Amino acid sequence: MDALKTFKWASNIPVPTVFNFRGGVRTLDETFLSSMDVYPPLIFCIGVVLLFSKERGRRRGQLDWTRRWGIICSYIALLLSATVILFLPALVLAGIAAIFQSMPLKYQPEVTPFLVKLSTTYLRYGPYPKSVSLIVLVLCSSITMLLACAALFDALRSSASKRAAAILLAPLVFFSLMHLGQVGLYCSGISIAPSEVFRYRIYFWPQFIEELAARWRGGNQSGSDLSVFVEITKWCIVLAIAVWLTIARLMARRQDKKTSAA
């Protein structure tokens, strides 16, 4: 999604209309999914849940306890990510309700009391986007990736040596611990830029694509060379794991066909 927005491709991707709605949204860049960081936390949570889901015919292992806690942490990360997303619509609904109430009573829409109750209830009792929620979000996402590394190690060692699996996953574990350490330094009052902590609120930093594009064009840079290197390393490792497991799955399926044919 960030690549589509960075290279202006999202404006060329049409989106289908729902229920024959003829509104102003025609392309992907005009949708709610491509704004306000809706896509990254949603896909992060879906990916973690799929990773920890039960597999048919799989034997129970010693690291199965990580699956339950990983899903719980991913749900917490998704809910915390939704605080900013839900807070702004609540403000918009409150403004719309105020406009409706400023109209004469006989011209007010019937939905006015509902909008007033919904917006005021969330603004009064709902969570607000604060620094504490972002800190907890970074903690949950980093812990989720630590638990995910256990599940990935269990999958990788079944198709290769344990040493190769451990070497491939070691950087992901190290980066998780590094983000947890950054949170600890920030909470202890040690001088560290908040952007260096909060940018990893879903463990990954998809905006590094915009950073690379800005460096290429000679524009403003929001991240250091270390943060860009860390993010490129993360994505390359995840891609390598995906290719590894895909090849292992195809080879296992091919072996099963040979066995059944024999």
Cβ-in-10-Å burial (0-12, 13-18, 19+) of 159 comes to: middle
DSSP 65: H
Which pTM does this prediction carry? 0.78
Integer Cα distance of 262 and 260 in angstroms: 5
Closest CA to 85 of 49, 25, 38, 29: 38
Q: Compute the mean pLDDT over every residue in the chain, rounded to the nearest whole number.
A: 84
Residue 14 pLDDT: 83
Contact 98, 168 (CB under 8 A): no
Integer Cα distance of 156 and 168 in angstroms: 9
> Which residue type sits at 149?
C
Q: Which residues of 124-150 are buried (b: 16+ CB within 10 A; e: fewer)?
A: eeeeebeeebbbbbbbbbbbbbbbbbb
Residue 238 pLDDT: 93
Residue 147 pLDDT: 92
Report residue 13 as tokens.
């991707």
Residue 173 pLDDT: 94
Within 8 A by CB and 6+ apart from 195, the residues are 222, 223
Closest CA to 228 of 181, 196, 202, 201: 196
Residue 169 pLDDT: 93
Contact 101, 116 (CB under 8 A): yes
Residue 19 pLDDT: 62
Q: What is the mean pLDDT of each run of 10 residues along the chain (262 residues)?
A: 84 76 72 78 89 74 81 89 81 90 86 89 81 88 92 84 90 94 87 82 87 75 77 93 89 80 68
Q: 39 in the Ramachandran plot: left (φ > 0), alpha (ψ -120 to 50) or beta?
A: alpha
